[in-house]
Structure 1
Amino acid sequence: DLIIADNPEIEKYINKEYAVFHPNTTYIAYGTDLQKSKLTIKDKKVRDWFTQKKIIENNYFLVVGRFVPENNYETMIREFMASRTKKNFVLVT
């Protein structure tokens, strides 16, 4: 849905090299926000995201990270699939 680049030059590269696909990109500096988010669970933006992704509050496992091999997403996904949990697996990269 969205390609997030942690470097403005990488974002430029993606937009240039893959222009034919009209990539939807944004630049977000690598690291953490210095201010607490003002969004709350009641905000329309948050509610819409839960609805769009078919996520039920307090009924999911959340993994957030860079999509790189050393983060072992394959292992996480395989082990989740092998589990008997009724919760969803939400992966944000």
Structure 2
Amino acid sequence: MSNLDLFQRAGEAADAILAAIPERPRIAVVLGSGLGALADRLGDAVAIPYGQIPDFPRPSVAGHGGHLIAGRLSGADVLILQGR
């Protein structure tokens, strides 16, 4: 796969995410083990299963959520990647 193909695929994923959420986040957080509950603290949360995002990897660890979650936390628009 060429760099251009990879860039185009990333752009398609970004477009799908931005179309599904109300605000453009300024902060992104990748949750590690034991931090999954942070997603429960988001206000106005919108969860997108990884399987609905073009070319996004599916979770490969049992028990991991596999969701990209957008919402508000302490007044900031955030994006959380939950599961790997």
TM-score, normalised via structure 2 length = 0.37
The one of the two structures with greater contact order (alpha-carbon pairs below 8 A, sep at least 6) is: 2
- Point out the structure with the larger helix share: 1
- Point out the structure with the larger strand share: 2
Rg larger for: 1
